[in-house]
Structures are given as C-alpha cells and as structure tokens.
Amino acid sequence: MPLTDLRVLVVEDDTFTRTTVCDALRFHGVTIVGDAGTASDAIAIAANDPPDVALLDLDLGGGPSGIDLARALRREHPGIGIVILTTYEDPRLVRKSYDTLPDDVIYLVKRELSDSDALPQALRTARERVGTVSPVSPRSVGAVGTTAGLTEVQIEVMRLVAEGHSNASIARERVVTEGAIEKLVHRTARQLGIASTSDQNLRVQITRAYLNLTGAPVRDEV
C-alpha cells in the first residue's frame, strides 16, 4: 500500500508531540483521519471514520493505556493495523500486567528510529501484515532487549528502587523478607549487566538503568 493511500489515526496525550507526529506523517503523504489525546476520543474517531492504521502512544496518562486501546480497537476493527510508538523499551515498565502485546502490533522505541522514513514505513507494514503473521513486533515482551528474561516482579522492584524505596519498604509491600528483596535486587543487577563494585552504589545504578529504559533523561550525578 502506498503511503499516499494510508489513512492513520494518531493517539498521543502530549499535544505538541501529537501535532509534530501528524505534521511529519502528512509530509510523507499520509492522510490523518483524526488525532486524539485519550482512548475514548480515539475510539469515537475510529467508529466514525475507521483508519487503516492506529499510531498509539503507550502511556496515555492515568486512564487506559495504548495497549488497552489497541485491544479495544482490534475488537471493533479487526483489520486495523497498529503501531505503538513509545519511549519505554518494555511495556511492563508502564504497567506490570502487560506480559503480551496484541497480535501483529509493531512496537517502536522512539530513540531507535533510524530516520524520518522509519515511522511511515512501519505504519504501512502494520497495515499490510495484519492477520498474516503473529506477531510482527520486534519488541514483544521478553523476546529481546535489555529487559529480556526479567520477571514482572523484577521490573516492579526496579521501579520501586527508582522511586527511592528501601529494601525494607519493598519487602513490606510485597510481604516477603528483606533478605529476599536484597537477593532479588542483586540478581536483577546482574541480569542488567550492572557490576557490583565498592565504588558504585548498586541502587543508583539500577535507578539509572530504569530511567534509561523508560526514556527519561539521566544526569551524570543521578
């Protein structure tokens, strides 16, 4: 399908980012059937004017996420292509229940896009391959990347460490011993490739890794 024939719905809760993405896609000849900042608005637009592809942000704020929206759109429009564009390397960094993506969803990490053509080409691929392979996503949870092999518990502990929780407070929240959390922290660090040395604080290094995986800026002094 040529890009000029592609009709896309863009869903992104940040207005500036949403406008920028829409303008960039229009530059490539893509038709924007609508843009939305919430899942409910996106569903209403798709019901009125079904797109070929939905381009979704993963984290849409406090309500339904991009994956929730992807599932809802697929229920109503089984032939719709879906691309999730996000700063998060693993959907479980947003919500721990995300162990799988819907079939044939392409999951793109923003900083890994090689050039301006990568996104429109991904949209075309998503439309052409719906129902033909399962999945086409290069980022299916646990398949590849830094977080491959990490359990949901490890992802959650990483988040709590990054938020400044002590091992004792994490243990109380998870109703386990402090020693169990300490072992889990060290095992997670090893899997992330973080060396335990006397001149580096392990928890700081885990925090840096977590922020990096979420796409947040990491300062040298963190």
Look up the CATH number of domain 3-128. 3.40.50.2300
**Could you check whether 3-128 and 152-214 share the same CATH topology?**
no
Q: What is the CA radius of gyration of the chain?
A: 19
Residue 34's pLDDT band (cuts 50, 70, 90): very high
pLDDT per position as a tens digit, 158-204: 889 988 999 999 999 889 999 999 999 999 988 888 877 666 788 88
CB atoms within 10 A of CB 129: 15
First to last CA, the chain: 46
- Of 90, 113, 62, 107, nearest to 159 by C-alpha is 90
Q: Token pair 């922290």 is at which residue? A: 185
pLDDT of the residue at 179: 92
Domain boundaries in the chain?
3-128, 152-214
Length in residues, the chain: 222
What percent of the chain has a predicted confidence (pLDDT) above 90? 43
CATH of domain 152-214: 1.10.10
Residue in the block written with tokens 């095992």: 187
- Rounded Cα gap, residues 121 and 101, in angstroms: 20
Residue 19 confidence (pLDDT) above 80? yes
Letter string b/e over residues 140-171, b meaning 16 or more CB atoms within 10 A of that residue's CB: bbbeebebeebbeebbbbbbbbbeebebeebb
In the structure encoding, which two tokens stand for residue 47, read together? 């019901």
- pTM exceeding the 0.75 threshold for the entire prediction: no
- Helix ranges restricted to H, 49-193: 66-76, 118-128, 152-162, 167-174, 178-191
Give just the sign of the alpha carbon dihedral 129, 130, 135, 138: positive
Structure confidence at residue 139 (pLDDT): 43
Q: Is the pLDDT of residue 95 over 80?
A: no
Strands (E), the chain: 7-11, 31-36, 53-57, 81-86, 106-109
pLDDT of residue 104: 83
